[in-house]
Amino acid sequence: MTQLTPELDQAIQARIRYFRDLGVYDLYRRGQPVPDPADAELASVSVTNVEPEPPIPERKPIPPPLVLAASAESIPAADRASALQTIREDIGDCTRCPLAFQGRHTIVFGDGDPNARLMFIGEGPGADEDAQGLPFVGRAGQLLNNMIAAMSLKRSEVYIANIVKCRPPQNRVPEPEEANTCTQFLFRQIDIIRPQVIVALGATAATYLLGGKSALARLRGRLHEARGTKLIVTYHPAYLLRDPTQKKEAWKDLQLAMTELGLKPTPRPET
């Protein structure tokens, strides 16, 4: 019998754990069948009228899970930090999806006030976030900090997280398999924090929070709902760095969030 190397064994265990997390328990090995002596006899018999084997169905992308409304029970404010910590412990040194094996250094869990009224959700960590273990700390993060300040809030007063907690290589968009594996933890974070408003930063966040794909332009400028919480969709700060002319459109989206939160924008300092 072939001996498994420890690496291969670990990769197989991770794969099995991944399928378990998706609720799949029965796995069948596809490969060369063990030769059966009866086959040799049958091989000499000519066979007619045999039904052809059905083709193996093509692998389809995993559809996003249903975005269910949060449960009616809310966790007392004083217990939310430790409830979030429990989720972090459940994640552990995660190997549930391929991103664990593609150069990730740190799992970027989320950052901010466990009792925040406003939550921002981006796509996934970049190089700076992967190095520091915190979301939105690179250039896009600087812009997000400015956006938060313009809303008359401090970064420490909001909560920031991403659709995936591990850096996709070359900052590519997370695959559905990766996002759908990871969002179970994000959804638990949302259910604990129970913000009044979530702002989805960019199309990836909007897709997985809303449970389906739509053009960003069609989603902006109005209220949606995700996990029983009001959701507003706006441009990703990295996109705004590439096209600053869209900042005024993003500001309109943030103003919508501010109206929901009863906030007034910070007046510009006199010059």
Instruction: Name every residue whose Cβ is closer than 8 Å to that of residue 197 and which is 6 or more positions away in sequence.
Output: 117, 118, 119, 229, 230, 231, 232, 257, 260, 261
Residue from the set 98, 110, 112, 125 that interacts with ligand URA by CB under 6 A: 125
User: Judged by CB, which is closer to ligand URA: 114, or 174?
Assistant: 174
Q: Does 208 bind ligand URA (CB under 6 A)?
A: no
CA distances from 137 to 14, 134, 140, 142 (A): 30, 7, 7, 7
**256 closest CA partner among 152, 121, 141, 151:** 151
Residues 214-243 that bind ligand URA (CB under 6 A): 238
User: Judged by CB, which is closer to ligand URA: 103, or 265?
Assistant: 103
As beta bridge partners, residue 226 has 229
Of 19-27, 41-49, 118-126, 186-194, the window that binds ligand URA (rule: CB under 6 A) is: 118-126
Q: Does 98 bind ligand URA (CB under 6 A)?
A: no
Residue from the set 120, 136, 159, 185 that interacts with ligand URA by CB under 6 A: 136
Q: What share of the chain is helix, strand, coil (3-state, %, to 5)?
A: 45, 10, 45
Residues 127, 141: Cα–Cα separation, whole Å? 12
Q: Does 140 bind ligand URA (CB under 6 A)?
A: yes
User: Six-digit token pair at 198?
Assistant: 């979530």
Residue 236 CB, shortest distance to ligand URA, in Å, is 6
Residue from the set 98, 110, 135, 168 that interacts with ligand URA by CB under 6 A: 135
Q: Does 114 bind ligand URA (CB under 6 A)?
A: no
Residue 27 CB, shortest distance to ligand URA, in Å, is 33
Minimal CB distance to ligand URA: which residue?
A: 122
Give the count of residues interacting with ligand URA (CB under 6 A): 13
Instruction: Name every residue whose Cβ is closer than 8 Å to that of residue 128 and which is 6 or more positions away in sequence.
Output: 137, 138, 141
Of 56-64, 72-80, 130-138, 183-191, the window that binds ligand URA (rule: CB under 6 A) is: 130-138
Q: Are 162 and 122 in contact (CB under 8 A)?
A: yes
User: Six-digit token pair at 44?
Assistant: 């000499």
Residues that bind ligand URA (CB under 6 A): 122-126, 129, 135-136, 138, 140-141, 162, 238
